[in-house]
Structures are given as C-alpha cells and as structure tokens.
Amino acid sequence: RKRQRRLNGIDEVVLSLTAKGLTTGEVAAHFDEVYGARVSKDTISRITDKVLGEMAEWCNRPLEGVYPVLFIDAIHGKIRDG
C-alpha cells in the first residue's frame, strides 16, 4: 500500500530463508522476484540481528542427559485371497 513501510510477516519469511542458508542478497532477490517488493540487505540484516541473542541463548541451553526416542517400523502389503 501507499506509504507502507513493511510487508506483513516479513520478519518470519526473512528468518526462515536465512535459516535455510540464504544470504542477505539472495533473500532480497527472493522478495523482489516473489513479492515484487524491494527489501534492502541492511533491512534484512537488522531483522536477523534482532534474534541473535535468542539464538545464542538457545545454542547454549543445558541439554538433558537422556532423550526418549521411539522408532516405529511397519510393512504394508496387499494380499489377494484365492
């Protein structure tokens, strides 16, 4: 819209694309190609910088000694009678 500063949900999309390994330039190109919106590399960097503290906290969290895991295996086969 006219005079709109940001697209709705841009932060989530930027963080998702960055988490998948895209560079700031690739994210900017993605927004231009998909949404037709120009987003600067600086804006993308500011968005990702907002979560750096949370990311560092999550990476340094204490881990449990044991994590339960459940493996389920099955075979599905068609059997015809006669």
All structural domains of the chain with their residue ranges: 10-59
pLDDT of residue 54: 85
Sign of torsion over alpha carbons 38, 43, 49, 51: negative
- The rounded average pLDDT for each run of 10 residues, N- to C-terminus, in the chain (82 residues) is 63 88 92 87 89 86 94 90 74
